């Protein structure tokens, strides 16, 4: 196994084991501590906590939750097992592992523990912990709506935490800190003197560069502002201006206080050894290679646009298996979302390619990106009248996304030259928003969470529901609460339906 990039599972258990070893191995009297278990330490070092929650967050987005989001926005299609039924919206809250173990048990509880153990002496770690905590709470409320927030993470102090309203989680209320303020608090911590700071050993993403963590935090502010922009445009515009007014690393790049180069993306790397690969590779190549393939509908869009990212996203197929998309980059075979047809044999399926997988599973899970900043600011310039040239930002977003897939400058320039109507905003503001959000949807392959957020928030791109759907005739608007939470905390839980819009998505 690659020790520099452990798996999520390995980290969870190694965190406790390493901390226990460190706490006892140097003590001459440790053999007398008969009531102290080295496998259940009371203190875990921040150098163990940070990678655990960082990789855990990427795993959460790249695994089941992100996979379902990719089905809902029709990047991918389900052809067998759970993806086959989930592609038809037959989901009934079967997210116990994601809710209880990954989200609250590992990522949020781990972030809270990191904050508590480092706030006094090493606020650099506490600040990062708050940023990761804010990201995970945003994911929770975006996907489920009202969730345990202000009373969560208190252990036995609140075993039946209240479900806070999504509006209060984003905007704040009496006794409830807004996600914006949680991020601001984390950013303030990064500026304080710190005894310990992260390094390349425990910070897999930024290698201890706190200036890049500040950019990640400012990118979170832009992301959250974008999320609430339809429901609370005044708040969104205010927060975006707050970020744009901050001194950035490049005065020529709008919003460079946030992520402003592809090298600054909050993208969590993985390894190549079995057990260390990213969740896309683990699921689609190692464990369940017969469950999914490219969506015909997404291939339709990329083919219509002659998009050069196609062979980076998906593999080509040599055989003429229907439906086949013939492009300048080869032939691609997809599957209609929700279809009852028999999927083509594996050799005739277009599946994830190097952008998602790397050569053998080492590709990062991309959580916050440079192209995201561009598209957020382009949309905001039109919808909210914030600063910036929407067309220039739109073109920058397309360029940065194409660069991230590995396309050369010459390839990108040639595409722009050949397709001026695609890469130039035109027409009414509504048409321009259609263009921006379609390109953002095309760029977010591999992050179904973000693409699903945009679709629910704007109704763009204008997708049709999958075939043969269950429970609801419409594309789902939220996830249902898992059985474990229903059983343990059902009295506090709101009653919701899968087609009921969350607060920020309701018009």
CB 462 within 8 A of CB 450: no
Residue 22 predicted with pLDDT over 50: no
Per-residue pLDDT, 150: 98
The tens digit of pLDDT for each residue in 462-499 reads 999 999 998 889 999 999 999 999 999 999 999 999 99
- The pLDDT assigned to 173 comes to 98
Give the bridge partners for 292, in sequence order: 78
Helix axes 448-458, 123-144, angle to 10 degrees: 50
Q: Give the separation between CA 303 and CA 34, rounded to whole angstroms.
A: 67
Interval 388-402 mean pLDDT = 98
Instruction: Please report the pLDDT score of residue 471 as a whole number.
Output: 83
pLDDT of residue 29: 41
**How many whole angstroms from its chain centre is CA 416?**
28
**Comparing C-alpha atoms, which of 284, 410, 299 is closest to residue 353?**
284
Model pLDDT for residues 436-456, shown as the tens digit of each residue: 999 999 999 999 999 999 999
pLDDT digits (tens, 9 = 90+) for 296-327: 999 999 999 999 999 999 999 986 666 789 99
Closest CA relative to residue 501, chosen from 463, 466, 457: 457
**Tens of pLDDT, residues 58-93:** 999 999 999 999 999 999 999 999 999 999 999 887
Q: Could you give the domains of the chain?
A: 7-24+38-208+465-507 (1.25.40.390), 279-363 (no CATH)
At 175-228, the pLDDT tens digits run 999 999 999 999 999 999 999 999 999 999 999 999 999 999 999 999 999 999
In this predicted structure, what is the pLDDT of residue 320?
Answer: 64
Measured CA to CA in angstroms, residue 305 lies from 179, 416, 461 at distances of 37, 11, 14
Q: Residue 41 — very low, low, confident or very high, per pLDDT cuts 50/70/90?
A: low
Q: Which residue has the higher pLDDT, 33 or 430?
A: 430
The pLDDT value recorded for residue 318 is 80
Model pTM?
A: 0.93
Structure tokens at 366: 């991309």
């Amino acid at each position: 196994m690659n020790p520099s990039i452990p798996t999520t599972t390995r980290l969870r258990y190694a965190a406790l084991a390493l901390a226990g070893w460190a706490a006892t191995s140097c003590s001459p009297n440790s053999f007398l501590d008969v009531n102290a278990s080295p496998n259940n330490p009371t203190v875990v070092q921040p150098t163990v906590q940070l990678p655990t929650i960082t990789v855990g967050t990427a795993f959460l987005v790249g695994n089941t939750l992100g996979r379902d989001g990719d089905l809902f926005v029709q990047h991918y299609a389900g052809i067998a097992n759970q993806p086959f039924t989930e592609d038809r919206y037959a989901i009934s809250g079967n997210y116990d592992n994601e809710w209880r173990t990954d989200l609250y048990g590992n990522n949020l509880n781990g972030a809270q523990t990191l904050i508590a153990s480092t706030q006094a002496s090493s606020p650099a770690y506490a600040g990062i912990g708050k940023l990761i905590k804010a990201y995970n709470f945003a994911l929770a409320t975006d996907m489920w709506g009202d969730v345990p927030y202000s009373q969560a993470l208190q252990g036995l102090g609140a075993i039946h935490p209240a479900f806070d309203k999504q509006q209060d989680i984003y905007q704040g209320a009496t006794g409830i800190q807004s996600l914006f303020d949680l991020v601001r608090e984390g950013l303030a911590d990064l500026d304080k003197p710190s005894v310990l700071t992260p390094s390349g050993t425990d910070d897999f993403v930024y290698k201890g560069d706190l200036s890049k963590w500040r950019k990640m935090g400012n990118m979170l502010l832009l992301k959250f502002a974008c999320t609430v922009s339809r429901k609370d445009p005044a708040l969104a515009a205010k927060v975006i201006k707050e970020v744009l007014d901050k001194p950035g690393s490049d005065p020529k790049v709008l919003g460079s206080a946030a992520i402003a180069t592809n090298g600054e993306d909050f993208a969590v790397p993985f390894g190549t050894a079995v057990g260390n690969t990213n969740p896309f590779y683990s699921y689609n190549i190692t464990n369940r290679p017969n469950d999914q393939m490219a969506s015909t509908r997404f291939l339709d869009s990329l083919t219509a646009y002659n998009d050069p990212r196609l062979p980076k996203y998906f593999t080509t197929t040599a055989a003429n298996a229907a439906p086949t998309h013939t492009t300048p980059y080869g032939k691609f075979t997809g599957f209609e979302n929700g279809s009852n047809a028999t999927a083509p044999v594996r050799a005739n399926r277009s599946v994830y390619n190097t952008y998602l997988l790397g050569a053998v599973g080492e590709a990062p899970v991309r959580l916050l990106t440079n192209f995201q900043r561009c598209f957020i600011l382009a949309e905001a310039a039109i919808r909210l009248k914030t600063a910036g040239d929407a067309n220039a930002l739109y073109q920058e977003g397309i360029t940065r996304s194409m660069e991230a897939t590995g396309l050369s400058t010459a390839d990108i320039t040639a595409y722009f030259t050949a397709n001026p109507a695609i890469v130039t905003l035109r027409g009414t503001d509504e048409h321009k928003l259609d263009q921006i959000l379609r390109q953002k949807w095309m760029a977010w392959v591999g992050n179904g969470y973000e693409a699903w957020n945009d679709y629910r928030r704007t109704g763009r791109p204008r997708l049709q529901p999958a075939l043969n759907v269950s429970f609801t005739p419409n594309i789902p608007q939220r996830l249902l609460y898992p059985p474990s939470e229903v059983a343990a905390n059902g009295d506090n839980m709101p009653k919701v339906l899968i087609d009921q819009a969350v607060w920020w998505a309701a018009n």
